[in-house]
């Protein structure tokens, strides 16, 4: 196992990545929780929000960092 050098990653890219990861996985976990609570409509809304957030992350990364 080796260490990963993250010194080349800019602070803005790191912050955007962390915020979107928290948003995407938070919405996914909330959607799963709502499905177990038999609130299917709100669960699907959370899943859709996670997909939209992922698409927004990809668009932002393609526009600003590529």
- Render pLDDT for 2-59 as a digit per residue (tens, 0 to 9): 898 888 889 999 999 999 999 999 999 999 999 999 999 999 999 999 999 999 999 9
Please tell me the total count of domains within the chain.
Answer: 1
Which range of residues forms the domain containing residue 55?
Answer: 13-64
Which pTM was predicted?
0.84
Residue 66, pLDDT > 90, answer no
Residues found in the chain: 66
In a domain? residue 8: no
In a domain? residue 2: no
* Nearest Cα to Cα of residue 61 among 31, 7, 21: 21
In a domain? residue 26: yes
In a domain? residue 6: no
Q: What are phi and psi of 30, to 5 degrees?
A: -65, -40
Rounded-to-integer distance, Cα 20 and Cα 44, Å: 19
């Amino acid at each position: 196992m080796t260490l990963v050098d993250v010194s080349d990653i800019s602070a803005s890219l790191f912050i955007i990545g962390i915020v979107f990861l928290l948003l995407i996985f938070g919405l996914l976990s909330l959607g799963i929780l709502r499905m177990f609570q038999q609130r299917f409509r709100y669960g699907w809304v959370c899943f859709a929000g996670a997909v939209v957030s992922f698409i927004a992350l990809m668009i932002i990364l393609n526009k600003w960092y590529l």
